[in-house]
Amino acid sequence: MPKVVKLMQGSEACTAGALAAGLRFYAGYPITPSTEVAELCAEELPKIGGKFIQMEDEIGSIAACIGASLTGKKVMTATSGPGFSLMQECLGYASLCEIPLVIVNAQRMGPSTGMPTSPAQGDVMQARWGTHGDHPIIALAPGNVRECFDLTLRAFDLSEKYRIPAIVLTDEVISHMREGVELPDPAEVRPLRRAAPSSPAGYKPYAADPDGGVPLMAPFGEGYRWHCTGLFHDESGAPSGKADVADKLLRRLQLKMDKNAPDMWDNVQEGTEDCDIAVVSFGSSAMSALSAVRRARREGVKAGMLRLKTIWPFPEPAIRELASRAKAIVVPEMNLGQLALEVERVAGCRSRVIRVGKVNGELFRPDEIYDVIMGAK
Amino acid sequence: MSDVLKYFRQERLPHIWCPGCGHGTVTGALVRAIERLGLDKNKVCVVSGIGCSSRAVGYLDFDTLHTAHGRALAFATGIKLARPDLKVVVMTGDGDCTAIGGNHFIHAARRNIGITTIVMNNEIYGMTSGQYSPMTPKGMVGTTAPYGNVERSFDLCELAKAAGATFVGRSTTYHVPLLIDLIEKALQNDGFSVVESIGQCPTYLGRKNKIGGAVEMLNWIKDQSVNVKAAAALPPEKVKGKFLIGELHNAPAPEYSSEQGELIGRVQRNYSDIKGGLWECASNSD
Amino acid sequence: MSEQKKSYLHVVREKYCKGCGICVAFCPKQVLSLKNGKVFAEKPDLCIGCRMCELRCPDFAIEIRQKGEDEARAADAGSVDYEIPPEAHHA
């Protein structure tokens, strides 16, 4: 097969990744900078018998997605800060009720209306803690247009496999920029599907190994007649306020993420095997950071780059290992320090963590990060 | 097994509603309407929001979904659009539907999506113990309107009609045969159907307003209602201050999810030979 | 009376009945009454089978069966003993 290189926008690659994963239902609401995902889904889904609906707001969008996911469909929505904030309650619902769901959050300068057309990375903590209560969540961060395809497809696979909502955390630049991209041959893409029960007989919707097990998920409309509730529930799905039931449920949900985190972690490293000074970053900030690291290396400084493709669950082993070598870890991000909080928590006592925050709505220039690396020698 | 109880998850009965609460009566009316129509239990999906009324779905032996406050119709829209062949019913309360859920209510009606919405209107927030709601009559007392509610309430059926619902009816937990008939018709309407059932909350609305218990409240409700057919023949002062019960609107129109289905059919015919591009990626999955 | 007067069986599910009194108050023939907090068919022979008690009951605790007409129904949950449903713990 001849190499097929296509000039593709980040949002387009997200949509292509979702379609490759078997997306059949999109519900969304227009918001800069993720509207292109909605537009492309509106155009592509009908061609394959998929359903698209523009709901009255982002709450309706994620709610409709959860409804469709319960019928067995693979679902997605795309939004940005303000919409992501509106989606939080239902995101918690999807996490408690273990509903496979993918949300693309194209971050923009916030808070509030902020700067809609400017990139930012200020939703990192919201992606993890935006909704109330302890809950598992997965967040992946594409660093270029090809990864928008890969990580959206990966988000579907992880969400289907573990029944945990998965967020694809891009930003205005990653979502809007175009790159020449070679997509994998569709025949090689083997999307995962949620494990379903074989028959309604004796089906218990939330029966699973307490040690992080994933229950079998029956689709609505196929004779299982099961009950899904946002109240804490026992294995039969009935609402329950019993202490032991609640404790067992929440710990199982958390273990689903903690135990399977190795399968969820993913990062790219360059020069970290012998670095004195490491840079930890993600998304579009990592592009500038990489050229800064490479420049420092050319000038004989032992600099290394660790780019996180998985933000949540936070890759503690990778950071801990990095801290065992590097005496300083530079964390450039387009916010006033969010990923850095996690890096400090994990590596703070072993390496000096240097936050580099850019909050003027512009990308980092490589020299801005280069200066910090040189300053940290 | 009795005709009614076979639609219930009996291991979960008796239910949690207070003695004399009207929600059980409405739930029974829905079940009896489904029994009359002989619907396949495996193809009925009942969705609810949050509140006393929304606990109904947990007791019903269908695919049931107890969602977030005010969002039942949005969840149900996703289910109906994904599976147009299912009979989708939403059970919601007056607060759940017209306060926090108001936006989804008017848009679901505007779309005329095939969902039968049963608004179990006890004119108060019951679960949180007695606050006034958008449907609490002006002047009545609630825990957040200790000096009397100064707000006017919606005419829910007019609101539904204006927003685009194609079947609208109102009854009460006193007029149960009428309620069952309306629900039966609502279930048969392809598009968006609304049945408002005004019912008693003796524990809060009845007690806080000194109306009395369930029996007194049912009489109080009965005295405020007038059948829409009878009202036509009555002089205006006889109808003043009362609400109409019966079938209030019935104008079938194309249903949203089937309209989408036809559109998809047309698109697929035009693009049946597409190769490459995004479409290619989707070909290999289910 | 031309044909033989119909008579009715009042099936009461005491586990479900909460003694709200709706059925008693609105029975057109005052057939029903409350006995230690549960509905009781005091004058069953006055029953005309209108079933309004059954339709209005919020707890599905009463069911009217016409004698000879409706076949005997299998025992249903209302009359079977079971452990307190998890629901009760929640309230």
Domains annotated on chain C, with CATH: 8-67 (3.30.70.20)
A→C interface, C-beta within 8 Å: 231, 234, 238-242, 245
Bridge partners (DSSP) of residue B117 are B90, B194
Q: What is the pLDDT of residues A277-290, one digit of tens each?
A: 999 999 999 999 99
Q: Please provide the DSSP assignment of B180-203 as one string.
A: HHHHHHHHH-SS-EEEEEE---II
Q: Tell me if A106 is assigned to some domain.
A: yes
Query: ∠ at Cα B136 (B133, B140), nearest 5°?
Result: 120
> Has residue B285 been placed in a domain?
no
Confidence at residue B280, expressed as pLDDT on a 0 to 100 scale: 60
Helices (H), chain B: 23-37, 72-82, 94-98, 102-111, 156-163, 176-188, 207-208, 214-224, 228-233, 236-239, 256-270, 277-283
On whether residue A229 sits in a domain, the answer given is no
Does B277 reside within a domain? no
Average pLDDT, whole number, for chain A? 97
Q: Are residues A34 and A172 in the same domain?
A: yes
Which residues of chain B have a pLDDT value below 50?
A: 284-286
Whether residue A150 sits in one domain with residue A20? yes
**pLDDT, chain C, mean:** 83
Question: A160 CA to chain B: closest CA distance, Å?
Answer: 14
Task: Find the residue in C nearest to A241 (Cα).
Answer: C90
Rounded (10°) angle between helices A88-96 and A58-69 = 20
pLDDT score at C91: 36
Q: Which domain holds residue B139?
A: 4-270
pLDDT at C2 over 80: no
Name the residue in chain C with its Cα closest to that of B215: C22
CATH number of the domain encompassing residue A362: 3.40.50.920
Buried b or exposed e, range B79-93, using 16+ CB within 10 angstroms: bbbbbbebbbbbbbb
pTM of structure = 0.95
Same domain? For A75 and A171 the reply is yes
List CB contacts (< 8 A) between B67 and chain A: 63, 66, 93, 230
How confident is the model at residue B276, as a pLDDT? 52
For residues A31 and A166, membership in a common domain is answered with yes
**Neighboring chains of B (3 or more beta-carbon pairs < 8 A):** A, C
- Any chains having at least 3 CB pairs less than 8 A from chain C are A, B
- Place C82 in a pLDDT band, splitting at 50, 70 and 90: very low
pLDDT, one tens digit per residue, over A350-363 is: 999 999 999 999 99
At B72, which CATH number? 3.40.50.970
Mean pLDDT of C25-39: 97
Q: Say if the Cβ atoms of C90 and A241 lie within 8 Å.
A: yes
Is A157 part of a structural domain of the chain? yes
Whose structure tokens read 């082993």? A317
Q: What is the pLDDT of residue A186?
A: 80
Interchain CB contact of C83 with A (< 8 Å): no
Judged by CB atoms closer than 8 Å, whether chains meet at A220 and B45 is answered as yes
C39 neighbors C24 (Cβ within 8 angstroms): yes
Q: What is the arithmetic mean of pLDDT over A340-351?
A: 95
Give the pLDDT score at A302: 98
Query: How many percent of chain A have pLDDT more than 90?
Result: 97
pLDDT, tens only, A89-127 = 999 999 999 999 999 999 999 999 999 999 999 999 999
What one-character DSSP code corresponds to residue A315? -
Cα(A225)–Cα(A70) distance, rounded to whole angstroms? 12
Interface probe with C: pick from A232, A240, A244, most Cβ of C within 10 Å: A240
Last residue of a domain, one of A188, A209, A234: A188
Kindly state whether residue A175 falls inside one of the protein's structural domains: yes
| Better-scored residue on pLDDT, A319 or C81 | A319
Q: Across the strands, what pairs with A6? A: A181
Residues B52, B206: Cα–Cα separation, whole Å:
16
Q: Which residue, of A188, A211, A237, is where some domain finishes? A: A188
Residue A61 falls within a domain, yes or no?
Answer: yes
In the predicted structure, residue C86 carries a pLDDT above the cut 50 = no
What pLDDT score does C89 carry? 45
Number of structural domains found in chain B: 1
Q: Cβ contact (<8 Å) for C87 and A238?
A: yes
Give how many domains chain A has, as a whole number: 2
pLDDT at A377: 84
B71 touches chain A (CB under 8 A): yes
Whether residues A66 and A166 fall in one domain: yes
Residue B286 lies in a domain: no
A79 close to A58: Cβ distance less than 8 angstroms:
yes
Residue B202 lies in a domain: yes
Classify residue A225: in a domain, yes or no.
no
Task: For residue B5, list chain C residues with Cβ-Cβ distance below 8 A.
Answer: 60, 76-78
pLDDT digits (tens, 9 = 90+) for A155-200: 999 999 999 999 999 999 999 999 999 999 888 899 999 999 999 9
- CATH code, domain carrying A161: 3.40.50.970
Question: Which range marks the domain in which residue A318 is found?
Answer: 268-376
Overall average pLDDT of the A311-330 stretch: 98
Q: How far is A131 from chain C (nearest CA, A)?
A: 23
- Domain endpoint, select from A166, A188, A210: A188
Q: Is B66 on the interface with A (CB under 8 A)?
A: yes
Domain annotation covers residue A206: no
Helix, strand, coil shares of chain B, percent, nearest 5, are 45, 20, 35
Give the integer Cα–Cα distance in Å for B133 and B125: 6
Q: Stretch A45-59: mean pLDDT, rounded? A: 97
Q: A241 to chain C: which residues are within 8 Å by CB?
A: 86, 89-91
Distance CA B247, CA B94 (A): 19
Closest chain B CA to residue C65: B2
| CA dihedral over B65, B68, B71, B74, signed as positive or negative | negative
